[in-house]
Amino acid sequence: MLKQRTLKSITRAVGVGIHSGQKVELTLRPAPPDTGIVFRRVDLCPPVDIPVGVMSVSDTRMATTISPGGDPGAPKVQTIEHLLSACAGLGLDNLVIDINADEVPVLDGSAAAFVFLLQSAGIVMQDAPKRFLKVMKPVEVRQGEGKKLMWARLEPHHGYTLSFEIEFDNPAVAATGSQFVFDMGSGKYKKEIARARTFGMTADIDLMRSRGLTLGGSMDNAIVVDDYKVLNADGLRYDDEFVKHKILDAIGDMQVAGMPLLAAYTSFKGGHALNNKLLRALLADESAYEVVSFDDDRAAPKGFAELAPAW
Ligand SMILES: [Zn+2]
Q: How does DSSP assign 122-142, residue by residue? A: -EEEEEEEPPEEEE-S-EEEE
**Whether residue 8 has pLDDT greater than 80:** yes
CA distances from 292 to 90, 159, 295 (A): 19, 12, 10
pLDDT per residue over 281-299, tens digit each? 999 999 999 999 999 999 9
Ligand 1 geometric centre to CA of 271 (Å): 9
CB atoms within 10 A of CB 149: 12
Ligand 1 geometric centre to CA of 247 (Å): 9
**Whether residue 16 has pLDDT greater than 60:** yes
pTM for the whole structure: 0.96
* 48 backbone dihedrals φ, ψ, rounded to 5°: -115, 125
Rounded CA-CA distance 160/304 in Å is: 9
Ligand 1 geometric centre to CA of 110 (Å): 7
Rounded CA-CA distance 102/48 in Å is: 11
The region of weakest confidence among 58-72, 175-189, 212-226 is 212-226
What does pLDDT average to over the chain?
93
CA 202 to chain centre: 24
Residue-level pLDDT at 20: 82
pLDDT per residue over 102-160, tens digit each? 999 999 999 999 999 999 999 999 999 999 999 999 999 999 999 899 999 999 999 99
Ligand 1 geometric centre to CA of 33 (Å): 28
Share of the chain above pLDDT 90, in %: 83
Closest CA to 283 of 168, 141, 159: 141
pLDDT grade, residue 212 (50/70/90)? confident
Question: Residue 20: exposed, middle, or buried by beta-carbon count in 10 A (0-12, 13-18, 19+)?
Answer: buried
pLDDT grade, residue 206 (50/70/90)? confident
CA 51 to chain centre: 15
Rounded CA-CA distance 66/57 in Å is: 4
Residue-level pLDDT at 37: 98
Rounded CA-CA distance 273/188 in Å is: 27
What's 307's DSSP letter?
Answer: P
Q: Which of the two residues, 93 and 308, has the higher pLDDT score?
A: 93
81-94 mean pLDDT: 96
**Whether residue 210 has pLDDT greater than 90:** no
Ligand 1 geometric centre to CA of 127 (Å): 33
pLDDT grade, residue 22 (50/70/90)? confident
What is 84-117 written as a DSSP string?
HHHHHHHT--BEEEEESSSB---TTSSSHHHHHH
CB atoms within 10 A of CB 38: 17
Ligand 1 geometric centre to CA of 43 (Å): 25
Residue-level pLDDT at 200: 87
Alpha helices in 6-160 (DSSP H): 81-90, 112-121
Catalytic residue numbers, as ranges = 272
Ligand 1 geometric centre to CA of 80 (Å): 9
Amino acid at 287: S
Rounded CA-CA distance 27/85 in Å is: 17
pLDDT grade, residue 169 (50/70/90)? confident
Residues in the 5 Å CB sphere of ion ligand 1: 198, 249
Amino acid at 245: H
- 130 touches 293 (CB < 8 A): yes
Q: Tell whether omega for the bond before 72 is within 30 degrees of 0, i.e. cis.
A: no
Ligand 1 geometric centre to CA of 234 (Å): 20
CA distances from 82 to 103, 169, 193, 291 (A): 12, 25, 11, 24
**Whether residue 311 has pLDDT greater than 50:** no
